[in-house]
Amino acid sequence: MTDTGTWQHIRYEEPAERVARIVLARADKANAQDYRLLSELNEAFDRAARDESVSVIILAADGKHFSSGHDLAAGTDMSDVDPIGTWCCFDAEGAEGHMATEAEMYLGLCWRWRNIPKPTIAQVQGKVIAGGLMLVWPMDLVVCSQDATFSDPVVAFGVNGHEYFTHPYEAGARLAKEMLFTGRAITADEALRHGMVNQVVERDELESTTLEMAMRIAKRPTIGLTLAKQSVNNALDAMGMYTAIQSAFGLHHVGHNHNARVHGMLVDPGGVRIIRDEA
């Protein structure tokens, strides 16, 4: 595992006994995710998961916004990233290479984090856009501030949504369709009503409330927490969650392929104008 001293976009903290906190530390970019950030985040989750003194993991973020999503300016070069899954052919031509890359760094990592055997809590403020949801939704619990908003506007780019397609499970079918069809941001209170988040608090109470929840959970034996988490996850799997994600991921790449044929690029370039006009 990479030494934590070499991490550029992630900070690792131990704010209380048996609690680890991983912080997205790219506030100057609204915590936009390049492949280095995602790789470092995965390493931090591994560190917390393997540390027997840690029972609960918090995922937080510096700055005004939790995450603005994928850093589209960063490109898709994986030459300095060590894959953790079984995917290969990242440099292959056509859809093969691009699908393999997204299966590794987006869908693969999200599913891996979702199944960490320890409870995880997302501590969320400000905007969570598209790929930002892919960091929040794999977590077990979500505490957010009143100013938090959640959106996935990428249908405007000619795809069906971001790669970790759990929208119906997180928001319910009706709200999921509204999020995707309109691209509008869901408020914190809406998210609470629909079960997307556990608690909504004032911004200055966000860190303390999240830590208090983590400390309460950390009092329980790890075996009980692991079995409880797996039981709930198994129930979601029995509802077809993973199959639904894989199906949507395939459709996502149908969208990319269509855009490449029609527009000469992976996304519809008109999407930028649509999203900016509605911002």
253-270: pLDDT as tens digits: 999 999 999 999 999 999
Find all residues with CB under 8 Å of 220, minimum gap 6, and list them. Answer: 55
The total of structural domains in the chain comes to 1
CATH code for the domain of 68: 3.90.226.10
Instruction: Round the CA-based radius of gyration of the chain to a whole number and report it.
Output: 18
* Average of per-residue pLDDT values in the chain: 93
pLDDT at position 234 is 98
For 141-179, what is each residue's pLDDT tens digit?
Answer: 999 999 999 999 999 999 999 999 999 999 999 999 999
The CA distance from 208 to 190, in Å, is 23
Segment 34-61 shows an average pLDDT of 96
Q: What does the alpha-carbon distance between residue 196 and residue 253 come to, in Å, rounded to a whole number?
A: 26
Parent domain of 147: 4-278
Question: Is 70 exceeded by the pLDDT of residue 81?
Answer: no
Is the pLDDT at 86 greater than 80, yes or no?
Answer: no
Could you tell me which of 9, 8, 1 has the C-alpha nearest to residue 31? 9
C-alpha of 219 from chain center: 27
Interval 172-198 mean pLDDT: 97
Q: Which of helix, strand or coil describes residue 75?
A: coil
Identity of the amino acid at 171: A
Q: Which of 180, 186, 177 is nearest to 156 (CA)?
A: 180
Q: How confident is the model at residue 76 (pLDDT cuts 50, 70, 90)?
A: low
